[in-house]
Chains A and B, each alone.
Chain A
Amino acid sequence: MPAIEVDNLCKSFVTKHKPAGFLASLRALARPKTFTIEAVRNLTFEMEAGELLGFIGPNGAGKSTTIKILTGILFPSSGQAKVLGFVPWAERRQLAYHIGTVFGQRPQLWYHLPAMDTFALFGKIYEMDDRTTRQRISFLAEAFEINDLLETPVRKLSLGQRMRCEVAASLLHKPKLLLLDEPTLGLDVVAKQHIRDTIRRMNQLEGVGVLLTSHDAGDLEALCKRVIVINHGQIVYQDKVSALKRSFLTSKLVEVRYAEQIPVDFHIPGTETIKVAKERYGVKLRFDTRSTGVETVMAQLSAAGTLVDITVSDPPLEEVIRLIYTQGAGKDSEPSTT
């Protein structure tokens, strides 16, 4: 049985149109204009038990709305969904025993109390006996390296520390499925990596399935096997992460700073110069990893002068999505419902 089955799911919100300005506001008061936002449109997909599935898309794409429908806290406008065999919005409480959730920016740990207190409360809420709760807490404390943090009031933790505690709390009752909504939002590189590694390890160790939303392509590369790209409430692409990388995450951006000035027409063969900085110490370029090796580019860059700083990064997700659109995605993936 698949962990998640979603069939033709739709969710629309009716929102009031609020014009700016005093007079316009008065007018709107007398005759309010409403419009409908279709947050999720005819979404259909499946997720296997124990799978690591990434759900990516820009802000406002409908990722969070989908997760909230799948946890049962929002009712869909139409369509079907089953999570672990339960219809989420009809069997919310039964489903809650088997899933864990983290909504990135919002705390579920009691803010003024140490995380340990919330862990103990969750043990009661999930109807675990005290011994099991204690064992589970010490196991998770080890896995997430939060032993030293459990006795500190949550408000005193850094965001990275807090998120580790949040994710650990969502795993307390050994859920079969973890729904993570932007778990790495706002974290620094080290904290991001820590969370990703631990989630992956818990997946291997306990077989917990992970559905993760993010607008960070890094989360996806580090964590997920399969990806669904969603935009404007619709699936625009779904395939293995390796396939996505092969076909879309093919270019790298490089930013370099030199100790001495570089020529105006600075060029490295096999790369495209995007911008030479005004004072001509820095340069930004892009290259395709399929035709030019990273090593080749690096060697040429260091041969061109004395390197002060160098950053290599993936193109932002927005660009990947634009590429998916322009290159006519969907030919080797399931048909997207356009």
Chain B
Amino acid sequence: MTMRNLSKYWAMLKMQLVNSLAYPSELVWRSLAIVIFLWIFAQLWRVTFATAGTTTIGGLSLHDTLWYLMLAETIELSRPRLSHSIAETVRDGSIAYLLNKPYDFLLYQMSTNLGESLFRMTLNTLFGGATVWLLVGPPPEARGWALTAIAVLGAWSINFCIGALIGLTAFLVEDVTPFEWIYQKMIFILGGMLIPLDFYPHWLQTISRALPFSYAMYGPARLFVTPDLTRFAGLLAGQVFWILILAGALVLVYQRGARRLAINGG
């Protein structure tokens, strides 16, 4: 990829960042969401730990659990609804403009998606972090933050691929909402967004860890709470594995789908 090529995708990323800033009030509401969610989680888990009469469940303390949920919520709430936006451009026909410019359609989606994600992630980390800090005390040791950041990027890649794959089904079917719904529930349950996978019975943990969702959610959040290199290496290997498979599928589906695309309207 040449420099000019790179700079065009960089320009798209920046453009999306600027676009995100267009509505300041929406930003505030968005950020309030994570504050409310985390506050509710804090109440729930406080009661759960108190009722169980223990200080740790599945190896995690209340403090760990809440910082885990902070990162998990940040990843989920910072995920732009890519499948919806692709489906929308197919529905209203504006995909015609996205396809007739001299760039790669998937890289365009990736750049704008990353721009939006980075922006939301910054806000969610700030607001979510502040909330949890106030509720249960300071975050886990700082030496794990850099590793976590890399893992979050990996999680973003997996989410991007799945979101784009679902979005591309809009080339063939009229409504992508059911697929997005299933995906979201998978992230919630098998990805470990609502409950850390450590709390699950052994068999369910095994299933969850074999699927890509846990690498896009549980993996980075757990690493954040207990950062160590072995955990990081295992997580990274799993993420790379799934990214290769999903990205391959994405390119294949895109090439096939583009041939079958029917554009609505006139």
Chain B residues with Cβ below 8 Å from A219 are none
- Report if B259 contacts A (CB, 8 A): yes
- Residue of B whose beta carbon sits closest to that of A108: B97
CB within 8 A of B102: which of A63, A73, A97, A117?
A97
- Residue of B whose beta carbon sits closest to that of A75: B259
Chain B nearest CB: distance from A167 CB in Å? 13
CB within 8 A of A113: which of B12, B19, B95?
B19
Chain A residues with Cβ below 8 Å from B201 are none
Chain A interface residue count, Cβ-Cβ cutoff 8 angstroms? 37
Cβ contact within 8 Å between B99 and A113: no
- Residue of B whose beta carbon sits closest to that of A64: B266
- Report if B23 contacts A (CB, 8 A): yes
Chain B nearest CB: distance from A177 CB in Å? 12
Complex interface residues of chain A between 46 and 77 (CB less than 8 A to chain B):
59-60, 63-64, 68, 71-75
Annotate A120-152 by CB proximity to B: 1 below 8 A, 0 otherwise.
Answer: 111011110000000000000000000000000
Chain B residues with Cβ below 8 Å from A237 are none
A72–B8 CA distance with the chains assembled, in angstroms: 21
A94–B103 CA distance with the chains assembled, in angstroms: 9
Annotate A147-177 by CB proximity to B: 1 below 8 A, 0 otherwise.
Answer: 0000001000000000000000000000000
- Report if A31 contacts B (CB, 8 A): no
> Could you say which of B11, B15, B101 has the most chain A C-beta atoms within 10 Å of its C-beta?
B101
Cβ contact within 8 Å between B97 and A103: yes
- Report if B7 contacts A (CB, 8 A): yes
Chain B nearest CB: distance from A108 CB in Å? 4
- Report if B252 contacts A (CB, 8 A): no
A72–B259 CA distance with the chains assembled, in angstroms: 10
Chain B residues with Cβ below 8 Å from A71 are 96, 100
Cβ contact within 8 Å between B92 and A74: no
Annotate B180-210 by CB proximity to A: 1 below 8 A, 0 otherwise.
Answer: 0000000000000000000000000000000
- Report if B22 contacts A (CB, 8 A): yes
Complex interface residues of chain B between 97 and 143 (CB less than 8 A to chain A):
97, 99-104
Cβ contact within 8 Å between B261 and A73: yes
A122–B102 CA distance with the chains assembled, in angstroms: 10
Chain B residues with Cβ below 8 Å from A108 are 94, 97
- Report if A106 contacts B (CB, 8 A): yes
Cβ contact within 8 Å between A73 and B99: yes
Chain A residues with Cβ below 8 Å from B22 are 112-113, 153
Annotate A69-109 by CB proximity to B: 1 below 8 A, 0 otherwise.
Answer: 00111110000000000000000111011010101011110
- Report if B93 contacts A (CB, 8 A): yes
3 closest Cβ pairs, A-B complex: A124-B11, A96-B102, A112-B22
A–B complex contacts, Cβ < 8 Å, 26 sampled: A64-B266, A68-B96, A71-B96, A72-B100, A73-B95, A73-B263, A75-B261, A92-B100, A93-B104, A96-B101, A96-B102, A105-B265, A105-B266, A106-B94, A106-B97, A107-B94, A108-B97, A112-B19, A117-B18, A121-B11, A124-B12, A125-B8, A125-B102, A126-B102, A127-B102, A182-B266
